[in-house]
Structure 1
Amino acid sequence: MKYAFSVEKDGAGVVLTSRDFPSLFCPGDSVEDALKYAPEGLEAAVAICVEDRQPVPMPSAPQRGDVQATLPLRVALKVALSNGLINKRWKPADLAKAMGTSRAAAANALKVGHNTGLNIMGQALEAVGLPEVVTPPSALVPSA
């Protein structure tokens, strides 16, 4: 997932702003410097949405002059899971029941800062009806 940022001059430096997360600002001496902070800023903005049980916005299309920052894969999977729970009107307890696991394990799958294993994320995404998120395309699966 790549999120677009507009670039604004700020004195001797720049500030990156996001249309998708209006409260997110990434300052720096240069665009490259500010982009170093963008993934961490995105992760924090996503964490707030997830903790507040609010939908995480999908990336908007970049506009002329925008730069993009990539959301780490583990966070992108948690975005899909969180939005999937919201779409199903589920709480973490519902996820735990569907996965056949503890409430704590289901809650950890949603915590942006938790290093949840890919196997657990796959089970959680399948439980909310999103198995295609972690299923590799057939072109990537080695033939026998």
Structure 2
Amino acid sequence: MQKRALEHPKITVLWDSAVEEAYGNERNMLGGVKVRNVKTGELTDLPISGLFFAIGHEPATKFLDGQLKLDEAGYIVTAPDSTATSIEGVFAAGDVQDHVWRQAITAAGTGCMAALEAERFLEAHGHAAVDGGPAAIEEDSAADKAGAKEPALVAA
């Protein structure tokens, strides 16, 4: 895909640059962006009518180096068909372990898998669920009294 994008006659790659502002036109549609070259400081105004924004593809896992097994690209290594990591009881999900799809929907799915695996792990290690469920919701918790908008989740 990268090769096709670089060779496409209607695509211009702006290296070492970051979008600083997107602005509208007289019809309240996207009218352009202001892009700054991070090396030279030059600000360029680009009139555009469409924008595809990607955050990046480098997982934010540097702080785990030496603690969890990471692959050569920095993704957390998980067991096949699982979210279990190199440390027992630690599970990983989403963009930090998914180097293939990197989509919100797949991150949500692996997040669900990790939650279920963590629950099973806790139950297998003598940390039974509260009141027969995965967690109890404490309606009158300290967090609730402090003005939290959601009830606190409390596990045994």
TM-score, structure 1 length as denominator? Answer: 0.28
TM-score, structure 2 length as denominator? Answer: 0.27
Q: Which has the higher contact order (CA 8 A, sep 6+)?
A: 1
Query: Highest CA radius of gyration, 1 or 2?
Result: 2
Structure with the largest fraction of helix: 1
